[in-house]
Structure 1
Amino acid sequence: MISQNTIQQILSRIDIVEIVGSFVKLKKRGANYLGNCPFHNEKTPSFTVSPSKEIYKCFGCGVSGNAVSFIMEHEKYSYVEALRWLAQKYQIEVEETEVSPQLKQFQQLADSLYIINGFAKDYFADTLFNNEEGQNVGLSYFEERGFTEETIRKFQLGYCLNTRDSFVKTAVAKGYNLEYLQKTGLVTIRNEQPVDNYRGRVIFPIHNQSGKVLGFGARILQKTDKAPKYINSPENEIYIKSRVLYGTYFARQSIDKLNECLLVEGYTDVISLHQAGVENVVASSGTSLTQDQLRLIKKYTNNLTIIYDGDAAGIKAALRGLDMAVEEGLNVKLVLLPEKEDPDSYVQRIGAAAFREFIEEHKQDFVLFKLQISLKDAGNDSAKKSQLVNEIAETISKIDKAEDFTRQQDYIRQCSQLLKIDEQGLITLVNKFIRERLTKREQQNNRNTPAAPSDDDLSDEAIAAMEAAEAQYGGGENLFNKDEKQEKELVKILLRFGDKPFSEEERNTVADYIFHLPYDFESLVSSELVKRILREYKRIYDEGNIPDKKWFLYHEDQDLAKNIALIIEDKEADLSVNWKERFEIDTVFGDVAYLKDTISTSNYLILRKIKKMIEENQQEAMNLTDFEEMKRCMELHQHLKQLEKELTQGLGTVIFK
Structure 2
Amino acid sequence: MISKSTIDTVFDVARVEEVIGDFVSLKKSGSNFKGLSPFVSEKTPSFMVSPVKQIWKDFSSGKGGNVVAFLMEHEHFSYPEAIRYLARKYNVEIEETERTDEEKEQLNEMESMFVVSEYAKSYFHDTLLNVEEGKAIGLTYFKERGFTGDTIKRFDLGYSPDSWDTFTNEALAKGYKLEFLEKTGLTIVKDDKKFDRFKGRVMFPIQSMSGRVLGFGGRILTNDKKAAKYLNSPESEIYHKSKVLYGIFHAKQEIAKKDNCFLVEGYTDVIQMHQAGITNVVASSGTALTTDQIRLVNRLTKNITMLFDGDAAGLRASIRGVDLILETGMNVRICALPDGEDPDSFARKNSLDFLERYFEENSKDFISFKASLLMQDAKNDPIKKADLIRDMVVSISKIPDTIKQEVYVQECSRIMDISEDVLFNTLAQIGKKEVSEANKKFNQERQQLEVVRYESPEDKVQQIDLLDNLEREIIKILLIYGNAEEQFLEVLLETNDNEEVVEVEHKVINKVYKQVFLSLQEDEVELTNPLFRTIYEDLIAFYNQNKEWNLEKYLMRLDADLAQEVTGIILAEERDSLHQWDSQNIIVKTKEEGISQYVTETILTLRLYLVNTIIEQYKEDLKSTDELKARESLELIVDYLKLTNSFSQKLGQVTSRFKKMD
Is the structural similarity TM-score above 0.5? yes
Q: What letter corresponds to residue 74 of structure 2 in structure 1?
A: S
Compared CA separation, residues 193 and 605, structure 1 to 2 (3 A): closer
> Do the aligned partners of 1:113 and 1:180 also contact (CA within 8 Å) in 2?
yes
Q: What's the CA shift string for 1:4-58, capped at 9, x where partnerless?
A: xx9xx9999476651139969xxxxxxxxxxxxx97899xxx9999xxxxxxxxx
CA shift, 1:248, in A, is: 1.3
- Aligned-partner SS, 2:399: coil
- Aligned-partner SS, 1:509: helix
> Do the aligned partners of 1:209 and 1:249 also contact (CA within 8 Å) in 2?
yes
> What residue in structure 1 maps to residue 393 of structure 2?
393
Q: What's the CA shift string for 1:53-112, capped at 9, x where partnerless?
A: xxxxxxxxx97435454858998972864966544458899xxxxxxxxxxx99933333
**Following the alignment from structure 1 to structure 2, what is the Cα–Cα distance between the partners of residues 10 and 371?**
63
CA shift, 1:372, in A, is: 3.3
**Following the alignment from structure 1 to structure 2, what is the Cα–Cα distance between the partners of residues 111 and 74?**
17
> Do the aligned partners of 1:156 and 1:204 also contact (CA within 8 Å) in 2?
yes
1:78 aligns with 2:74: yes
Mean CA deviation greater in 308-317 or 548-557: 548-557
Q: What's the CA shift string for 1:556-602, capped at 9, x where partnerless?
A: 379837836858999xxxxxxxxxxxxxxxxxxxxxx9998403785
1:440-455 → structure 2 map (5 Å cutoff): 440-448=437-445
1:412 aligns with 2:420: no
Compared CA separation, residues 515 and 306, structure 1 to 2 (3 A): farther
> Do the aligned partners of 1:41 and 1:257 also contact (CA within 8 Å) in 2?
no
Q: What letter corresponds to residue 406 of structure 2 in structure 1?
A: Q
Structure number with higher relative contact order (C-alpha < 8 Å, ≥ 6 residues apart) = 2
**Following the alignment from structure 2 to structure 1, what is the Cα–Cα distance between the partners of residues 361 and 565?**
42
- Aligned-partner SS, 2:421: helix
Q: What letter corresponds to residue 248 of structure 1 in structure 2?
A: I
Compared CA separation, residues 329 and 595, structure 1 to 2 (3 A): closer
**Following the alignment from structure 1 to structure 2, what is the Cα–Cα distance between the partners of residues 336 and 373?**
10
> What residue in structure 2 maps to residue 168 of structure 1?
168
**Following the alignment from structure 1 to structure 2, what is the Cα–Cα distance between the partners of residues 190 and 603?**
70
- Aligned-partner SS, 1:333: strand
Compared CA separation, residues 606 and 164, structure 1 to 2 (3 A): closer
> What residue in structure 2 maps to residue 308 of structure 1?
308
**Following the alignment from structure 1 to structure 2, what is the Cα–Cα distance between the partners of residues 263 and 399?**
20
1:508-527 → structure 2 map (5 Å cutoff): 509-511=514-516
**Following the alignment from structure 2 to structure 1, what is the Cα–Cα distance between the partners of residues 191 and 598?**
83
**Following the alignment from structure 2 to structure 1, what is the Cα–Cα distance between the partners of residues 170 and 95?**
32
Task: Indicate which of 596, 599, 604 corresponds to 1:598.
Answer: 596
CA shift, 1:447, in A, is: 4.7
**Following the alignment from structure 2 to structure 1, what is the Cα–Cα distance between the partners of residues 522 and 301?**
47
> What residue in structure 2 maps to residue 112 of structure 1?
112
CA shift, 1:449, in A, is: 7.0
**Following the alignment from structure 1 to structure 2, what is the Cα–Cα distance between the partners of residues 564 and 188?**
50
CA shift, 1:350, in A, is: 2.0
**Following the alignment from structure 1 to structure 2, what is the Cα–Cα distance between the partners of residues 267 and 436?**
40
1:97-496 → structure 2 map (5 Å cutoff): 108-188=108-188, 193-400=193-400, 404-448=401-445, 495-496=480-481
Q: What's the CA shift string for 1:614-648, capped at 9, x where partnerless?
A: xxxxxxxxxxxxxxxxxxxxxxxxx9999899557
Aligned length: 505
Alignment root-mean-square deviation, CA: 5.1
> Do the aligned partners of 2:217 and 2:233 also contact (CA within 8 Å) in 1?
yes
CA shift, 1:260, in A, is: 1.5
Compared CA separation, residues 568 and 189, structure 1 to 2 (3 A): closer
1:20 aligns with 2:15: yes
CA shift, 1:305, in A, is: 0.9
Mean CA deviation greater in 262-271 or 340-349: 340-349
Compared CA separation, residues 597 and 318, structure 1 to 2 (3 A): closer
> What residue in structure 1 maps to residue 454 of structure 2?
none
> What residue in structure 1 maps to residue 622 of structure 2?
none
> What residue in structure 2 maps to residue 651 of structure 1?
658
Q: What letter corresponds to residue 657 of structure 2 in structure 1?
A: G
CA shift, 1:395, in A, is: 1.6
Q: What letter corresponds to residue 653 of structure 1 in structure 2?
A: K
CA shift, 1:303, in A, is: 0.9
> Do the aligned partners of 1:303 and 1:331 also contact (CA within 8 Å) in 2?
yes
**Following the alignment from structure 1 to structure 2, what is the Cα–Cα distance between the partners of residues 353 and 386?**
40
> Do the aligned partners of 1:72 and 1:82 also contact (CA within 8 Å) in 2?
no
Compared CA separation, residues 598 and 229, structure 1 to 2 (3 A): same
> What residue in structure 2 maps to residue 573 of structure 1?
none
Compared CA separation, residues 256 and 646, structure 1 to 2 (3 A): same
CA shift, 1:246, in A, is: 0.8
Compared CA separation, residues 11 and 594, structure 1 to 2 (3 A): farther
Give the gaps of 5 or more residues in structure 1: 1-5, 25-37, 50-61, 94-104, 451-486, 519-534, 571-592, 608-638
**Following the alignment from structure 2 to structure 1, what is the Cα–Cα distance between the partners of residues 569 and 274?**
35
Q: What letter corresponds to residue 366 of structure 1 in structure 2?
A: F
Q: What letter corresponds to residue 354 of structure 1 in structure 2?
A: F
CA shift, 1:365, in A, is: 0.9
Q: What's the CA shift string for 1:439-475, capped at 9, x where partnerless?
A: 333444445579xxxxxxxxxxxxxxxxxxxxxxxxx
**Following the alignment from structure 1 to structure 2, what is the Cα–Cα distance between the partners of residues 537 and 181?**
41
> What residue in structure 1 maps to residue 615 of structure 2?
none
